[in-house]
């Protein structure tokens, strides 16, 4: 595994729409491993591929230590409720702000074996999933700051 460089705010990579993964190659598996390592090293609870300079629909989320969730071609299939909590981003170190997100969200994605699965999360997990999926469409949490 290798630690990757995290792209910082101002780099246009963060504003691009990512392409779906059509084939899960060894390269994609290595990317997933490296993204988990990079996320952990940076003490983050999520990381999206464009944050390491790869414009593919891939993200990792880990809100429960030791239980990283790898998401390939993820999409939100259901959501409900709202929450408004403080949010940050590894690409915007030191920046924090309150954003409005669904309280509960269900995401459908492929795992590293190409199998479809659904993950349902509430609170922090819901927020992390929404935050990382936003990255795949070039959106950042600062686009969603709650009005005080």
Name the site residues for Zn ion (rule: CB under 5 A): 89
Cβ proximity to Zn ion, 28 vs 89, nearer residue: 89
Of 62, 70, 87, 132, the active-site residue reads 132
Nearer to Zn ion, 28 or 132 (CB): 132
Whether 116 is catalytic is no
Q: Minimum Å distance from CB 11 to Zn ion?
A: 13
Q: Rank residues 89 and 130 by Cβ distance to Zn ion and give the closer one.
A: 89
Measured from the CB atom, the residue of 24 and 144 that comes closer to Zn ion is 144
- Residue 140: CB minimum distance to Zn ion, A: 7
Of all residues in the shown chain, the one whose CB is closest to Zn ion is: 89
**How many of the other CB atoms lie within 10 Å of CB of 37?**
17
Burial of 94 (0-12, 13-18, 19+ CB in 10 A): exposed
Smallest distance, Zn ion to C-beta of residue 134, A: 8
Question: What's 43-101 look like in SS3?
Answer: CCCEEEHHHHCCCECEEEECCCCCCCEEEEEEEEEEEECCEEEEECCCCCCCCCEEEEE
50-81 burial: b if 16+ Cβ within 10 Å, else e? bbbebebbbbbbbbeeeebbbbbbbeeeebee
CB of 41 to Zn ion, least distance (A): 15
| Catalytic sites, residue numbers | 132
């Amino acid at each position: 595994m290798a630690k990757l460089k995290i792209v910082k705010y101002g780099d246009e990579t963060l504003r691009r729409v990512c392409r779906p993964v059509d084939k899960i190659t060894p390269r994609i598996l290595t990317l997933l491993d490296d993204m988990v390592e990079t996320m952990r090293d940076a003490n983050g609870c999520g990381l999206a591929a464009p944050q390491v300079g790869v414009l593919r629909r891939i993200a990792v989320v880990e809100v429960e230590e030791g239980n990283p969730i790898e998401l390939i071609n993820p999409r939100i299939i259901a959501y409900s409720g709202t929450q408004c909590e403080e949010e940050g981003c590894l690409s915007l170190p030191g920046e924090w702000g309150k954003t409005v997100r669904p309280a509960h969200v269900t995401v459908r994605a492929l795992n590293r074996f190409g199998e479809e699965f659904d993950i349902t999360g509430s609170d922090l997990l819901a927020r992390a999933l929404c935050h990382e999926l936003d990255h795949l469409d070039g959106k950042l949490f600062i686009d969603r700051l709650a009005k005080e």
